[in-house]
Amino acid sequence: MELWLARQPIFDTRTNVVAYELLYRSGTTNAYDGSDGNAATARVINATFYSPGGREILGRKRAFINFPKDLLASGGAALLPPEEVVIEILESVVPDLGVMLACNDLRSRGYKLALDDFVPCEGINPLASIADYIKVDFRSTVPSQQAEVVERWGKKACMLAEKVETLEEFERARTMGYSLFQGYFFARPVIVSTPEVPGTKLSQLRILQQLQFPEMDFAAMGELVSQDTAIAYKLLRFVNSALFAAREPIDSIQQAMVRVGELGMRRWLTIVLLTDLTANRPGELAVNALLRARFCELLATEAGLGSRSGDLFLLGLFSHLDAMYGRPIDELLSGLNLHNDISETLLGVAPPGSQPAGLWATVLAYEQGDWDRMGRSAATAQIRTSAVQPLYAAAVRWADQVVHGGIPEERDLSASADHELGRYRT
């Protein structure tokens, strides 16, 4: 039986990630069909909190976990660390005596409670009076209902707007009094006002350290540059500028560095870092770009595309360029000279059956918890569905290490992918 576990970020008013909702369902074959929510939640708890490497998927954030009625009333939530979870009560849960006793007991133990898909009604919902978070689905409610929930319950609970997909909805929710947000609005180009991509200060400081050595270690430097979306993007713009003769498409960051040469890289990096080191630390877009890049890279080996792991890493790394720069993706890609199928995949115009497009669709479906679509996409890309979960967990771990100062594992992909899959085999 396969368990597919993904995470959806929850943001504050400044679009900082404060928590993740864990998405759970089953794979497409030989797997749990989703009819028993209690069993699904139990397996998510086991995979996240009691399996090797499970906590790493949270990236040091709090987890929102859905609880059906039976598992809630049975006291199963009390097995979890209260400082790491929020107990999310599904809209289908009827607040009878058993449920209310269980919820009050959890609160006395220090747990936080959230009501999912809350809709205002004429009667009194006793769960709303003890909830720490109230989640309102912006796709299934109208503005008057959204405002009513805040007016009635906003002084007692933290208001969370979910399925927020546009800047207008985000601004409206924030004005109404919502303080947390969930959805894909953050990936829309219009919400980013700055024209510059913030870099990762840790990786930039490491680059400065590498520049102090008499001879440049191209492998080590390429690894550091590939961990910073801003510098990697600027490097490809630079190497495709009029200063260099037009050549074949770029396959990897290391190839771009070789074209520039050691002296050119030293001079160029010094200039770039003088600007980038004044930027703030990366937001979720930069972190997610790193995660996607590593995920694509590991999936490339699984799909038999190991020779193209470099440009598939770039596929993930540059997937948020439109949101980072606030400009159309086709305009940004025009000066990068990527392989055609990589550019076409990012533009959404790749032909049916394209393996990179199938791999990328697998990444997006996994992020969104759409397991049926993920299974179909994985088949197109010739990826075993059983390999996706452990490789995603490995990508989360790697991105978290990059951002928080750890030393990432070597990107020896043939060995790395096999190692990660081996960790999850039972």
Tell me the average confidence (pLDDT) per consecutive run of 10 residues in the chain, 426 residues long: 67 87 56 56 70 67 87 79 91 86 92 89 77 93 93 92 86 94 60 39 65 79 84 82 67 85 78 52 69 93 91 86 76 80 92 90 90 91 92 87 55 51 48
The answer to whether residues 216 and 176 belong to one domain is no
Residue 412 is part of a domain; what is its CATH number?
1.10.3210
Q: What angle do CA 317, 209, 294 make, to 5 degrees?
A: 20
Tell me what pLDDT residue 407 has: 44
**Pair (416, 271) in one structural domain:** yes
CATH number at residue 48: 3.20.20.450
Clarify whether residues 210 and 350 are in a common domain: yes
Q: 363-374 as b/e, with b when 16 or more CB fall inside 10 Å?
A: bebbbebbbebb
What pLDDT does residue 361 have? 95
- The pTM assigned to this predicted structure is 0.57
Assign 3-state DSSP to the chain and report helix, strand, coil percentages, each to 5: 55, 10, 35
Which of 164, 191, 218 marks a domain boundary?
191
pLDDT at 425: 45
pLDDT of residue 107: 92
Same domain, 271 and 416: yes
Pair 176, 244 in one domain: no
Task: Among 170, 191, 212, identify where a domain stops.
Answer: 191
Position of tokens 């396969």? 2
Residue 236: per-residue pLDDT? 86
AA identity, residue 63? A
Which pLDDT score, from 0 to 100, does residue 327 have? 73
* 205 shares its domain with 182: no
Q: Within a 10 A sphere around the Cβ of 16, how many other Cβ atoms?
A: 10
Given a contact cutoff of 8 angstroms between Cβ atoms, the answer to whether 38 and 66 are in contact is: no
Do 102 and 240 reside in the same domain of the chain? no
Reference 22, options 44, 46, 1; nearest CA is 44
Same domain, 8 and 38: yes
Of 48, 46, 41, the residue nearest 71 (C-alpha): 41
Question: Can you tell me the distance from the alpha carbon of 333 to that of 235, in angstroms, rounded to the nearest whole number?
Answer: 13
Q: CA 170 to CA 155: how far, in whole Å?
A: 20
- Residue 5 to residue 1: CA distance in whole angstroms: 13
- Residues 135 and 68 grouped into a single domain: yes
How far is residue 400's CA from residue 394's CA, in Å, rounded to a whole number? 10
Domain that holds residue 122: 3-191
In sequence order, the 6+-apart residues with CB closer than 8 A to the CB of 335 are 236, 237, 240, 241
Same domain membership, residue 88 and residue 121:
yes
Domain final residue, candidates 159, 191, 223: 191
Number of domains in the chain: 2
Residues 174 and 223 in one domain: no
User: How far, in Å, CA of 320 to CA of 233, rounded?
Assistant: 11
Residue 415 tokens, joined: 């060995």
